[in-house]
Amino acid sequence: MTDVTRKTGEPGRTDLPGLRDVSKGHVRVEACGTVDELNAWIGVVVASLPLDQEPLRRELRAVQSVLLRAGSILATAPDSPVSGVLRPVTAEDVRFLETRIGGMKDELPPLSGFILPGGDPSCAWMHVARTVCRRAERTVVRLAEADESRSPHPDLQSVLIFLNRLSDYLFVLARWFNGLKGFPE
């Protein structure tokens, strides 16, 4: 891992693998930062869970690990030599979320309308994470569209699919956990 600071004194600039001296306003930097923010919010969810929820903690930590991989992919220019050695976000990662969504939905009543975020504090944080996840997805879409001359890099496409399912997972998880804790929707 490189140093935390560039020590160049140039505010508003940063280095990424394959991109030197890039603006912190660059969509790639924004995508990395938003996924990092999402990971931090999921950390808040983990920290707020009751002590009897260790299996859910482990599950969310696994999600955080996938988000670290996603952040590495987003931080690396596709033509960088580092790009080929990064561990991708996989179809298995997506299937895990889809399986969990299906299992939790089986225990929930059908949605009858919009729900207000809230209930158990952990669920409120899940909804915050969900909205940040949607923002991350939109930012990664902008990154994928930044070069219209070619289709999105396959690793970038996998990150997009994962983020899409993750926001669904967080929504269903908040509903499921609120039900578990006896809070109405």
Mean pLDDT to the nearest integer, 93-99: 99
* CB-CB contact of 68 with 136 (8 Å): no
CB 102 within 8 A of CB 172: no
Q: What is the pLDDT of residue 106?
A: 97
H or E stretch at 23: strand 19-23
Q: What is the pLDDT of residue 150?
A: 58
Range of the domain at 132: 15-94+117-180
Q: Which pLDDT does position 182 carry in this prediction?
A: 92
Separation CA 14–CA 110 (nearest Å): 47
Which candidate, 57, 51, 54, 85, places its Cα nearest to that of 69?
85
Q: Give the strand pairing for 19-23 and 13-16.
A: antiparallel
* Within-domain flag for 4: no
In a domain, 5, yes or no: no
pLDDT value, residue 2: 56
- Res 14: pLDDT: 81
Predicted confidence at residue 25, as pLDDT, reads: 82
Residue 41 to residues 20, 32, 64, 102, Cα–Cα distance (Å): 29, 14, 10, 23
111: Cα within 13 Å, side-chain hemisphere = 10
Residues of the chain with pLDDT > 90, as a percent, come to: 71
Read off the pTM.
Answer: 0.90
Q: Burial level of 168, CB count in 10 A (0-12/13-18/19+)?
A: middle
Task: Answer whether residue 58 is part of any domain.
Answer: yes
Q: What percent of the chain has pLDDT over 70?
A: 91
The domain total for the chain is 1
Q: Output the domain CATH number for residue 27.
A: 1.20.1200.10
Residue 106: inside a domain? no
Task: Please count the other Cβ atoms lying within 10 Å of the Cβ belonging to residue 114.
Answer: 6
Question: Does position 6 have pLDDT exceeding 60, yes or no?
Answer: no
Q: What is the pLDDT of residues 102-112, one digit of tens each?
A: 999 999 999 99
Q: What pLDDT was estimated at residue 23? A: 78
pLDDT tens digits along 39-71: 999 999 999 999 999 999 999 999 999 999 999
pLDDT computed for residue 115 by the predictor: 92
Identify the H or E element spanning 14.
strand 13-16
